[in-house]
Structure 1
Amino acid sequence: MRIVESEVLVLGTPWRNLTFLKLTSDDGLVGLGEARLTNRTEALLAYLDAVRDRYVLGIDPFDTEKLVRTMVHGDQGRAGEIVATAIALVEMACWDLKGKALGQPVYRLLGGAVRDAIPAYANGWYRVERTPDAFAEAALRVVSKGYRALKFDPFGTLHGPPTRSELTEVVRLCEAVRAAVGPEVEIFLDMHSRFGVADAIRVVRALERVDLGWVEEPVDPLDAEGHRRVSSAVGVPVATGERLYHRSEFLPFLERRACAILQPDLTHCCGIGEARAIAGMSEAFGLLVAPHNVAGPVAMAANLHLAATLPNLRIMETFNDFEADAPLPSGRAGNPVLGAASGCPGVVDGAFPLPQGPGWGVTLDEEVIRSFPFRPGHFDIFAPHWHRRRALGPVGS
């Protein structure tokens, strides 16, 4: 079995471009990978084109370990975000091909499921006016979709030490969400590395009464000692890891017991194999994993196959139910991200059911993808427009 064709497709949305990789084997099977690379999609496309003949065409998709090692070490330079994402796309597509060739869902090839369902939390639902009432109303719509956990960033344009009034506003937003969803719904906060250690501690302490499941990336993503200091000073678990790309980068966080939850992103850390290695290391140190996932239906399915096999899984992230509707090729309005592929399960009573194979169990709708081409632009988490939908349509669409 050899790969004879490689094709890249991009679906553009108002705030993210989703890159899909199709690898076709000599017996006609198609394997799929997918990733969202913030503000660097053009660079990713250029690199995928450069390695197509060098590394991808002609390989046996069952040789994923050899493939990843070759792509990591073959070009001498360190494999950073762009290269690690490209490797992940190829590796994911190879796993899909292996599952299809063997007629099995990928999670069975990884050792089998250790759970019947994967608990889920919603993200991307809160692009509304930054008022307590608007946040509360949006959170209620999340719960109405069947979610029992949600995450948000209440900090707006803050990037650095907050004033007393700014911190009071953040607390009011969080308390409004807690009051709206009640005590049974989990709430996680993403701090997006906005603060230094002292300010992060101050902010988290002010929010402890909201009863948070975790606070995420309170300080610089590479600062293991800073994370440890925050973790030691607050009464809320700390999560981090979405911007780490190799197991060696996670090791200082484990050795220092710098956090409670690690969040590898399989679409950025070279794929399923590396993500499983990171999860195994985390288990040995007594840490949970909550994979970071901000991509579309193919990456969602791949994450579910991974999550099904992890004994130390905390919960799984998804954004996809909260994309704005747009005109689809059928002529009706619909969610283009969910419409880009079929087969990925949705959330039912707070959890994803196990995905069905073979492979990821997902089929692309290329007509939908080609209807929403790459969208140039700059995504800035600290800019006011990210926190209001405006042209993006109503929350919950």
Structure 2
Amino acid sequence: MVDQVAKVEVFSITIPRDTPYLGALRPGESVNEKGYIVRLGNRTVYPTADRTVVVRIETRDGAVGWGETYGIVAPGAVIALISDLLGPFVVGRDPHDVVVIHEDLYDLMRVRGYTGGFYLDALAAIDIALWDLSGQLAGLPIVKMLGGQRHDHLPAYVSGLPKRTLAERADFAAEWQGRGFDSFKFAAPVADDGVVAEMESLRSRLGPKARIACDMHWVHSAEEAVALIRAMEPHGLWFAEAPVKPEDIDGLAHVARSVSTTVAAGEEWRTVFDLVPRVARRACGIIQPEMGHTGITEFMRIGRYAEAHHLKVIPHATIGIGLFMAASLQASAALTVVECHEYQHSVFEPNRRLIESDMDCKAGLYSLPTGAGLGVKPSEEALGLLHKH
């Protein structure tokens, strides 16, 4: 008899960090009673600790798959959606029917407007866990189950330079360059002297061959974004990420038409349906799916749609403890158009102790985890941190 899902469990993990994501607090920024800060540079909320939501799915015969999604803000929302709604609909299903289950769970709420946000984040965690479980049962890494492995290693770019001053950020980038990395991205909200000065400083310090991108964090009007990108272009801008607000598709298209630099977008998208209207407007040339939002099924749909329209894919990479990071590498390695992958060193490195894996990022290259399924699982330390809901 075919094995069936017997149990879906959901946990949260909180991991203290010395310095908040994106670096020390700027003037006017403070931590509220829930441990959140709002970055004034992009008006976006961030936690002061790393937090993630982890899903464990077990079959009647005892096979286990692990998944993970965003838990950085209001993790209880994701947890409730999994424990109260989605999880019970997975129990009793054939774990090999991963895509079918994804479609069924998506359909449960699509006509009520829940095509994004916490609902799809919750679905992403379940999807990753089911792919991991299916791979465990087949004895194959997920990349082989997605059609085959196109890349043995994936080039990585250093994301974020969380130092206080312009000179310190340039020196920090140069340290990573000395370790074999040739691609970098800085965050506009903490480029305190302005993005043009940041770009000029990094180019001067890193030399002519380094690739340098700017994450503009969705704060500008289209016209403002065009002016800033054009001002950075003489210093060799690699790509401009998130130049306008996520809902401003026409503005994104205007920016893409008006600058020489390739425009990148997509970290906030949940499904291929977010990509379709932007492709129709040729609004971006680099697609940045985030595994923690999409899960593997939608990540691959986004990647294949990008391939069909001759667009590049450079995945976004929030880390958690590393489960959905591993999923992102597995899926990316199956896609021809993935030319690089984000490396969130300030999360990946301190949190890697929380998984058992040979997944690594050295000398500018990611190496995929080996083994069946994701190739990773929570470490004993991580298991001790799991808070069950």
TM-score range, shorter chain: 0.7 to 0.9
Corresponding residue for 1:365? 379
- Structure 1: runs of 5+ lacking an equivalent: 158-165, 325-334, 375-397
Q: Distance in 2 between matches of 1:119 and 1:286?
A: 19
Give the one of 103, 123, 143 matched to 1:87: 123
Structure 1 residues 53, 194: CA separation in 2 closer, same or farther (over 3 Å shift)?
closer
Structure 1 residues 190, 128: CA separation in 2 closer, same or farther (over 3 Å shift)?
same
CA RMSD of aligned residues (A): 2.1
Give the one of 364, 367, 370 matched to 1:350: 364
SS of the residue corresponding to residue 180 of structure 2 reads: coil
1:237/1:261 contact within 8 Å kept: yes
Corresponding residue for 1:219? 244
Which amino acid letter does the alignment assign opposite residue 101 of structure 2? Answer: L
Corresponding residue for 2:10? 8
Give the one of 255, 261, 265 matched to 1:240: 265
Corresponding residue for 1:330? none
Is the counterpart of residue 295 in structure 1 residue 319 in structure 2?
A: yes
Q: Distance in 2 between matches of 1:169 and 1:263?
A: 24
TM-fit CA distance, 1:184: 2.5
Structure 1 residues 298, 210: CA separation in 2 closer, same or farther (over 3 Å shift)?
same
2:256/2:262 contact within 8 Å kept: yes
Give the one of 342, 346, 349 matched to 1:322: 346
Corresponding residue for 1:255? 280
Structure 1 residues 50, 118: CA separation in 2 closer, same or farther (over 3 Å shift)?
same
Is the counterpart of residue 30 in structure 1 residue 64 in structure 2?
A: yes
TM-fit CA distance, 1:170: 2.8
SS of the residue corresponding to residue 303 of structure 1 reads: helix
Q: Distance in 1 between matches of 2:387 and 2:196?
A: 39
TM-fit CA distance, 1:253: 1.0
1:4/1:25 contact within 8 Å kept: yes
Structure 1 residues 32, 113: CA separation in 2 closer, same or farther (over 3 Å shift)?
same
Q: Distance in 2 between matches of 1:33 and 1:9?
A: 10
Corresponding residue for 1:382? none
SS of the residue corresponding to residue 68 of structure 2 reads: strand
Is the counterpart of residue 174 in structure 1 residue 209 in structure 2?
A: no
Q: Distance in 2 between matches of 1:366 and 1:20?
A: 14
1:9/1:19 contact within 8 Å kept: yes
Q: Aligned ranges for residues 137-156 of structure 1 at < 5 Å?
A: 137-156=171-190
Structure 1 residues 215, 128: CA separation in 2 closer, same or farther (over 3 Å shift)?
same
Q: Distance in 2 between matches of 1:317 and 1:16?
A: 18
SS of the residue corresponding to residue 144 of structure 2 reads: helix
Give the one of 128, 148, 162 matched to 1:127: 162
Which amino acid letter does the alignment assign opposite residue 249 of structure 1? Answer: D
2:157/2:182 contact within 8 Å kept: yes
Corresponding residue for 1:189? 214
Deviations 1:93-135 (A, max 9, x none): 01111111111111001111112211111224x2221x22111
SS of the residue corresponding to residue 157 of structure 2 reads: strand
Structure 1 residues 266, 311: CA separation in 2 closer, same or farther (over 3 Å shift)?
same
Q: Aligned ranges for residues 19-98 of structure 1 at < 5 Å?
A: 19-51=53-85, 53-75=87-109, 76-79=111-114, 80-98=116-134
Q: Distance in 1 between matches of 2:70 and 2:178?
A: 27
Structure 1 residues 281, 371: CA separation in 2 closer, same or farther (over 3 Å shift)?
closer
Q: Distance in 2 between matches of 1:44 and 1:314?
A: 31
TM-fit CA distance, 1:53: 4.9
TM-fit CA distance, 1:146: 3.4
TM-fit CA distance, 1:336: 4.7
Q: Distance in 1 between matches of 2:219 and 2:190?
A: 10
Deviations 1:157-194 (A, max 9, x none): 8xxxxxxxx8x643222221222222222211101101
Is the counterpart of residue 311 in structure 1 residue 347 in structure 2?
A: no
Q: Distance in 1 between matches of 2:339 and 2:55?
A: 29
Greater RCO, CA 8 A, separation 6+? 1
Give the one of 281, 301, 311 matched to 1:277: 301
TM-fit CA distance, 1:52: 5.1
TM-fit CA distance, 1:202: 0.9
SS of the residue corresponding to residue 16 of structure 1 reads: strand
Q: Distance in 2 between matches of 1:350 and 1:33?
A: 26
Which amino acid letter does the alignment assign opposite residue 225 of structure 1? Answer: D
Give the one of 225, 229, 250 matched to 1:204: 229
TM-fit CA distance, 1:372: 8.3
SS of the residue corresponding to residue 155 of structure 1 reads: helix
- Structure 2: runs of 5+ lacking an equivalent: 16-47
Q: Give the stretch that moved more between structures: 335-344 or 24-33.
A: 335-344
Deviations 1:343-363 (A, max 9, x none): 151113211123312111102
TM-fit CA distance, 1:261: 0.6
Which amino acid letter does the alignment assign opposite residue 127 of structure 2? Answer: E
Deviations 1:299-345 (A, max 9, x none): 111111101110111211121x3249xxxxxxxxxx55111102151
Structure 1 residues 201, 342: CA separation in 2 closer, same or farther (over 3 Å shift)?
same
Corresponding residue for 1:381? none
1:9/1:369 contact within 8 Å kept: no
**What TM-score, normalized to structure 1?**
0.83
Q: Distance in 2 between matches of 1:155 and 1:206?
A: 17
1:341/1:362 contact within 8 Å kept: yes
- State how many pairs are aligned: 351
Structure 1 residues 10, 369: CA separation in 2 closer, same or farther (over 3 Å shift)?
farther
Give the one of 215, 230, 235 matched to 2:255: 230
TM-fit CA distance, 1:82: 0.7
